[in-house]
Structure formats: structure tokens, C-alpha cells
Structure 1
């Protein structure tokens, strides 16, 4: 290969590492979790001869190939150090070499050693293959990324509880298989299997009895299986010490999680009980009481499922003001893009305009309405424009009505001219809206001369089209001419 080609590939190697939060890396980590669980569950079963099955051999080939590629992936993925993204591949490699490189390389080498049939006649090689099970330590970090997708504290606690129970099951599974594997070592001396007279039993029976022995070491059961050989006594002593740590940790963790979960549920129950007592004591009509309880239940559910959706996180106070504004903008960028004028602003490659769009995002208000709530009445002065995030809204005008589409800005006209609502907007179910006040909008836009000029030009076109179309609905959507991808202007 020529020297320029070498320099080209070297430049690509240095300049293009994967980002830790990259979507491809996210799915790769999910595959890593699946293959780690495969190693933890399937490899110990090799003591029972499971590796002879064709399906297991196919899975072993997939895992073998994946873990080889995973070494390269880890060398090409950046990391965060003190909150700063490290993209230098030499630093990435040095960090990987100090942490997981040696173990990953040994695991891959052992896997290929087994595949080449070297040493397979020795049962002790089965214990060497369990070296790969150490990768279970990686699960804590990888599962944390899945944990971050949960949006309620209760779901987070349930996830932790499930993880604790799953970890206990896997650890007992490994101990059980090792306990059976020890009985296969040696030169035909006495073992617990021979003492019980179960040598000719089915592999399934061997596994179940071994698992029961492993579980009884936690002190929650009794077993007639006893150690016979020195190796069995050594292993049983090690398991007894490990079980002491596992059991104490398990009890404290599960107790803490269950206590927290019960506190959350009890808090919810007591609040709704107090609400019902209040409604009953004040003789509130049954129909209104039902509406109130249903709305509060929905609001409570939304708060638990969309935790901190309004950005009221204490840790966000550590962000700089521009970064907070950019975060707010990122949350509502899709809704802002639905307004043609704001879409034009967002397309401008100007720092002042960018700051202005971030300010506008910060001026958006979130509004939660209950079934039957009126958002606005016909003939009232329009001072605010709305967009529906989720839920069902009905727009009533004269003798007709129509359902409002999500993402459609309602009464945008008030931003550009004096306007009165032409109809009435009513919530059919619990709905969440975003609103923008026209006074705040105008004040923010006027902070930039360029934006003010763009707004003036746009307002002339908008009002001209509004007049020519003789619009009589607050749901009218203005589509700029000259946009070939835009649908035709519609008048409701």
C-alpha cells in the first residue's frame, strides 16, 4: 500500500471514533448484554454436555465472532472523562488496555482454543471457559443505559428489583453447574454424585439437584447432598463464604427497594383517599367528583411516567443559561418547526438568530386540560397560539365541529394581526398543549434587527394570504408559496 493511502487510513482512524451515546453503539451494547447473558447461562451447561447440540454450536459461533468484533469496537469508542468527551484513539486504546483489553483477549483466545479441539479431553477446560462469565461485571454499566430509558421512579425501582433477582438466579445457576462439574473431575474417586447413587440419572435431574444444593447454601433450604472429596469441601467452603455476602447484600437491597416502592404507593393511595374525603365532605356532585378524580389520576400518572418533564431537575441548575435555553429548544424544536416563520429563523446560520429561537422556546408554556375544559371561546380576543402535544381536542364553529390534528398551531393569526377566535376549542380527553403569547413573541423577535425585518416581510405575506383566502377558522394553516414539498393551503 502506498504511503498516501497509509496516511489516509491513519487519518480516518484518528478522526472518526464512535461516540459513547451513538445510536449504533447503543444497539451494540444491547447485543453485548444478550451475549453476556448467553455466556453466563449456556457456558456452565457445558458440564452437562450441552455443547454437542447443533443450535448451541451455532450460538457459540455467533458469540465468538461478536466478541472478536467487540474488541475493535471498544478501541474505536470514545469515553467521558470529568465530563469531557475523549476522542483521541491513542488515549482510548490506553484506557481500554488498562481495563478490559487483557481479559477480553484471554476470553477470545480461550474460545478459539476450545474451537480448535485443543485440550477438550480434559474436563478442567470447562472451568477455564467460565473465565468469560466475568464479563457479567459489565452488565451493571450497560444495563444502566436501559435503566435511563425508564421515566418513573416506581419503574426504576422495579427494574432494580428484577435485576437483583435475575442476578441471584444466574449466580446460583453458575454455582450449580460448577458443583456438578467438580463431580466429573478426578480419577474416578468418590464424589457426592456417587454417594447418592445418581451417576446414571438424566442430565436434567443432575442439574435440578445441583441447583437445589446451590440454593440451599443461602440458608433458605435443606439438602441431603454432602461433600465427599477434598475438592468438594474446598468448593463448598468458598460457596458458603460467598453465600454469606450474597444473602446479606440481597436481603438489604431487596428490603430497601421494597420499602421505597411501598412508600411511593402508600403516598399515592393516601393522597387520593384525602381527595375523596374532601369531595365527600363538601358535598361535591358525583359527576364533578368523578371528573376531578379522573383528571388527578391522569395527571398523577403523567407525572410518574414522564418524570421531570417540565425540566424541574435540581441538577439542571448547574447548566449555563445558554445551555439551558438550548436544552429547552431541543425539547420543542419539532413543534417550533411547524410554524413557517420559525422554520425560516431556525434555518438561518446566525448566532444571534439562534439565540433568539432558543429564547422563544423558553417562552413556551405547558398547559394541561381536563375533559370538557374550554381552551378558548369564540369572539374572544386571541392573544395566544396553541399546539396540541397529545390528547383529543374538538374545535366547534357554528353547527359543525372537527378534531384538531396534533402538531397544528391553532390561531397563529394572532402573532401577525389583530384576531378574534372564530370558534371554541374544547378538550375531549386529558390533553397537553404548548402555548405562545403574542406579546412575548413580538418582544422577543424585535430584539434582533434581522429577525424583525424577516417578521415584517413574513407578516405582509401572511396577512395578504389570510385576507385573500377569506379565512374564517382558527385552524387555517399558512403554507408559503414556492415550497414544492408543501401541501396546498387549506381553509377549514
Structure 2
């Protein structure tokens, strides 16, 4: 029994079944329920009955269960350390460093993990699966693997650039302290990378789990793929050879240089070139995690590969003559570069290599020896290959960057021209149609309805709000409406394009939609053909058709190319059915507008007749008001004509025959 259990049982004595034997019990036992006494003698009673003994045994079972539960916890509520079954020692809790290390091995919440597992809950489930997989399994989406890959890529790029330069242009510095330290650190990291690859999960989207965490499966997969190349590239063969050959040979420097050549062979044939695929994979993961533009990464990779090949070719141009001890007709001896500083040697070698690769010449001199001749041919072949790859990648990149512009002439222009030729349309009409498409799509090809149909409803609302929210807010009866109602209105707006001279609204017709001007200028033309005013970006017109069923009282014509958004009466009524409260509000607004504005075609502060002008028309005012300003005293006398009945007076007859004053209207009527 545990110490806690003993302490609990020590407060009680099991009841004896021998008759008349005194027993010590608690005041809370059933034998003393209902009794209130503080006397110690009350704690000693006669032998309990059979039912009391059963109750006592039941209480003992509860105490045992409680003791076993409390045994698992310390006084602070933390779990006790369990004893080892063999030696009785306690297992230590994981330290802070161990917890941090385990956290680094778990999948991190980045775009790559969210793409694989869908949500934070899926990532949490993957963490639990990782813990059950075994000891020291590195998840490919973990922070540790990300930063380790970043270090390996930087180290790989340093080897790709520095190692050929040292081997080609530094003959006697192969055993310098700095170079030895760099090689040791580099080889150590590559050896550790081999070890970590045996314990890193494999991303496989064909499986249900997306990531394989089985250690045996990981090891078999790595042995079949990159193990041999990584192992051979990580072993420092040159230093192993130096340790074996330690008999003090005076030609140790030459041996070291020969091993440097072996190291270059290892770079070109095994490790460095083949591990470039890992660099590409890491860059793809980098794009997903940091949302780097794909076009930028394509350009970066293309330029990097071209410069790297030029760098290797330049080192090769100097390495081959150096291995031959600079023969008499080598380009190095001809140019007097044998004892020149290494940077001068590298610069001339790079110039010679790029001249061959770009097919612009042979450098300062054509090849004078058979070796230089073969090197020149190798450079030309590599340059032609790189040039072809560059042209292909650049063409593909340009096409991918502006795919909509490429599809526009092929799909729209070609089809439209064939259609117009089939219908035998006249040339001016053909030019107008092509001009419409050019301004409608700006030389791009896309189907906005398909794009809208594929994105989520939230994204559709966000796009519509970004394009049209300010336009809708400019309408008075929309600016005071509920935000959800306005958002619904915005989502049903339709884009329209009009060319200069197009009639958007015809006077006398029934309106079926209102318009918002995103870009362009429109003219409001009265019945007599006068341009009353012009509207531009951010304005609206034709809104009265949404509230009443009146005819249009003016004509609206586009002056320039106009990008408009329209809201149809049908869609507006559908929205009002969804928002009954807004329907009542809109009906009140319509009634107020008809009361204040009426159905006149007059305009704000517009001159109707001037003093002395000969009248040709009879003006009727079924609603609204006009002001007559007499000639003799404009400041003192104003007369308002409120309705058509007042025009039966002599003054009205004078207006219709020979006007005596300037008449203006102080109300704005709907269009």
C-alpha cells in the first residue's frame, strides 16, 4: 500500500465481526448520522450491524481508489516520475533543451504544411503522428529542416564558386590553414546531412498521410536515390590520403595538388552538380513558404546557371594549361600571365571562355596548340547549348508572363475578324467592333464570369467592393443604407463599355437600369438637343428607374470611352425582396423625390428664356417651380410660377409671344 493509502487507512480501524467488540469509527459513519455530540466517548460504540459493516467496507474501497489516484500526482499537481521496473530508478523528465529540440523537429505552421494538411488542426494531428513514429524523426515541414536546408544551400553555392578557383589558380595553397578549415567544415556538414536524410520524412502526396514517417521506409528510399552520391561527395578523400602517406615525402605539395584535382573531379562529376536538384527543390519550397513571385525565381535561376557555367568554363581554361606546366604555345604563356596575380589570371580566363561561349571571337589570340583547340571547341559547344537553353527559357518566360496578351489576338481578334467577314460587315463597322474589343479588354484575354464563378463568395464580394464600393456610396439613397444591403447591390453590378457617341439612355424610353461612371465623360442632352451638363468619374445617372416606372426625360450620350457599372431594375427588386425593411425605406425615398422634384425636364439654374428673346415654345410646369426676374428691378421683385394654371395669365401669354424677363428653374429633375 502506498504511503498516502496508509495515511488514509490509519485514521480508521476495520470493523470486527466478533460480537460486542468495541470499534473506533468516524463521526460521519452511518451509526452516528443525526447525532450532534462533541464528547470523545461517543466515538466508541458497540459492534456495528451487518449493514453498517457493508457500508464501512464500501468506504474503504473509495479510500483505496482515491489513494491510487493521488499516488500519481505530487503536491503541486504534476505527475510523479515513474520507477523503472528493473532497477527501481526514476526516469527523468525531458529538459528545456530537449523540449525545444522536439519543437524544432515538429511540422511548423507555414504555407507548405498548410498545403499538405489543410489547417492548423491537421498540423496538430501530424504532430501527434510524428511523436508516435519514433525517436528523432525530422519532419520535412519543420523549422529545423528548413534552416538546415538553407545552410546547406549557402554552403553548396560557396563550394560551387570557391572550389574551382582555389584548385585552378592556387597551386601551392592547397594545405593552407584557412582552406583546410573550410574543407573540414564543409565535409562535416555534408556528412551530417547524410545522417539527417536517414531520419527525415518523405513528402509523398500520393499517400493518405502526405508525409512518410516510417524509419525503415525512409532509409530504403534514401538508399535507392541519393545515398551513394551524397556519401561519396561527403568523404574527404584528399585528407584521408594525406594521413596515410605521412612518410615525409618532399613532393607532398604536388601530391596535395593532385588531390585537389581529384576534388575538382568530385565536384564536377558527383556532388556539386547532382546536388543542384536539391537546390531547385529548396527554392520551390521557398516560393511556397515566402510567396516569392515565380517569374522572379525563374529569372534568378536562369541567370545563376548561366553565370555558374561561365565561371566553371573560365576555371577550366586556366586549369588545363596549368596541369601541363604551361607549354610554350599555351594562351597563358603567350599573354604573360604565368606569374600574374590570380585575379588577373581569372579575369583573362573568364574573358576567353565567354568569348567562345558567345561566339564573338577567340579572345586575344586564336588557339595555338592542340589543347587550346579542344578547349575552344568545348567552350563553343557549351556556349551554344547554353544559348539555346537561354532562348528557350526566355521565350517560355515571356509567354508565361503575359499569357493573356498572347491569347487575345488568337482568340478574340481572329474569331471576330472571321465572323465579320462571314457577315460581310462594312469596313467602318469592323473598325468599330475591333476598337470596342481593344478598349474592353485592353489587349488582354480573360473571362471575368468564369473567374468570378471559380473564386469563393467572399472573394467575389471583396473584388466587387474594391471596384465599385465608392461608386455606390455616391448615391444618396445607397449611402444611408445598411452595409450588407449595399454589399449585395455591389455584387450584382455589371460592367459595360461605351464608345464615343454611343447613346446610353434615350429620352422617352422606360428605364431598366441605372449607371455608375467608373471612367469617362457623358453628356446630359435635353429635349431640344442642348447639352445641359456633363458627368465624369464617380458620378451616376438614371437612378429614378429603380424607384419609379417613369419614362426617361433626357438623353445621355458618351463623350469619351466610358467604363460604366449598371444595376438593373430586376436585380434591384430581387435585393429588395431579400431585405423587406429596405423596400419600405426605398418607397419613402421615391415618394419624397417625386414630391420634391416632380417629373419635369428642367435643370438646376438653367436659363429658359432671355429678356427680349422671341418665344417659340409653350412651357408647362406640372411640378417644380420657376422664377421670373423682371428687367426693371431684378433685386427687388421676384415672381414664382408654381404650376401650369398660373400660365393662363397675361404674363404667361407674354412669355409665349415675346418674353419680357429671364426665366430660370431652381429644381433638379431626374433623368
Aligned partners of 1:83, 1:400: CA distance in 2, in Å? 63
Q: Which of 354, 366, 370 is equivalent to 2:499?
A: 370
| 1:357/1:432 CA distance change after superposition, 3 Å | same
Aligned partners of 1:345, 1:435: CA distance in 2, in Å? 18
Q: Which of 350, 354, 364 is equivalent to 1:210?
A: 350
SS at match of 2:449: coil
- Matched-pair contact (CA < 8 Å) for 1:217–1:240: yes
Q: Which of 295, 307, 317 is equivalent to 1:173?
A: 307
Matched, 1:414 2:531: no
RMSD: 5.9
Matched, 1:342 2:478: yes
- Matched-pair contact (CA < 8 Å) for 2:331–2:368: no
Aligned partners of 1:293, 1:146: CA distance in 2, in Å? 38
Q: List aligned pairs for 1:50-199, cutoff 5 A.
A: 80-81=114-115, 84=118, 95-100=142-147, 102-104=149-151, 107=154, 138=283, 141=287, 168-180=302-314, 190=325, 194-197=332-335, 199=337
Q: Which of 407, 410, 431 is equivalent to 1:293?
A: 431
Cα offset, 1:404, TM superposition: 1.6
Per the alignment, residue 441 of structure 2 pairs with 303
Farther-moved stretch of structure 1 (408-417 vs 457-466):
457-466
- Matched-pair contact (CA < 8 Å) for 1:387–1:407: yes
Aligned partners of 1:342, 1:208: CA distance in 2, in Å? 73
SS at match of 1:312: helix
Unmatched tracts of structure 1, length 5 or more = 1-74, 148-158, 348-353, 475-488
Per the alignment, residue 436 of structure 1 pairs with 567
TM-score (structure 1 length as normaliser): 0.52
Q: Deviations over 1:347-406 (max 9, x none)?
A: 3xxxxxx3x545433432222222221001223333321012223322223523433221
Q: List aligned pairs for 1:24-35, cutoff 5 A.
A: none
| 1:225/1:145 CA distance change after superposition, 3 Å | farther
Aligned partners of 2:349, 2:409: CA distance in 1, in Å? 39
Q: Which of 390, 395, 409 is equivalent to 2:524?
A: 395
- Matched-pair contact (CA < 8 Å) for 2:602–2:667: no
- Matched-pair contact (CA < 8 Å) for 2:407–2:444: no
Q: Which of 533, 538, 555 is equivalent to 1:424?
A: 555
Aligned partners of 1:409, 1:253: CA distance in 2, in Å? 49
- Matched-pair contact (CA < 8 Å) for 2:408–2:445: no
Name the structure, 1 or 2, with higher relative contact order (CA <8 Å, separation 6+): 1
Aligned partners of 1:207, 1:136: CA distance in 2, in Å? 32
- Matched-pair contact (CA < 8 Å) for 1:183–1:193: no
Bigger radius of gyration, 1 or 2?
A: 2
Per the alignment, residue 56 of structure 2 pairs with none
SS at match of 2:508: coil
- Matched-pair contact (CA < 8 Å) for 2:513–2:569: yes
Aligned partners of 1:276, 1:460: CA distance in 2, in Å? 49
Cα offset, 1:435, TM superposition: 1.1
Matched, 1:405 2:541: no
Aligned partners of 1:433, 1:98: CA distance in 2, in Å? 53
- Matched-pair contact (CA < 8 Å) for 1:381–1:421: yes
- Matched-pair contact (CA < 8 Å) for 1:391–1:430: yes
Count of matched residue positions in the alignment of Structure 1 and Structure 2: 359
Comparing both structures, which one devotes a greater share of its residues to helix? Answer: 1
Unmatched tracts of structure 2, length 5 or more = 1-107, 128-138, 163-175, 187-271, 605-665
| 1:264/1:393 CA distance change after superposition, 3 Å | closer
SS at match of 2:514: strand
TM-score (structure 2 length as normaliser): 0.40
- Matched-pair contact (CA < 8 Å) for 1:177–1:211: no
| 1:250/1:174 CA distance change after superposition, 3 Å | closer
| 1:439/1:330 CA distance change after superposition, 3 Å | same
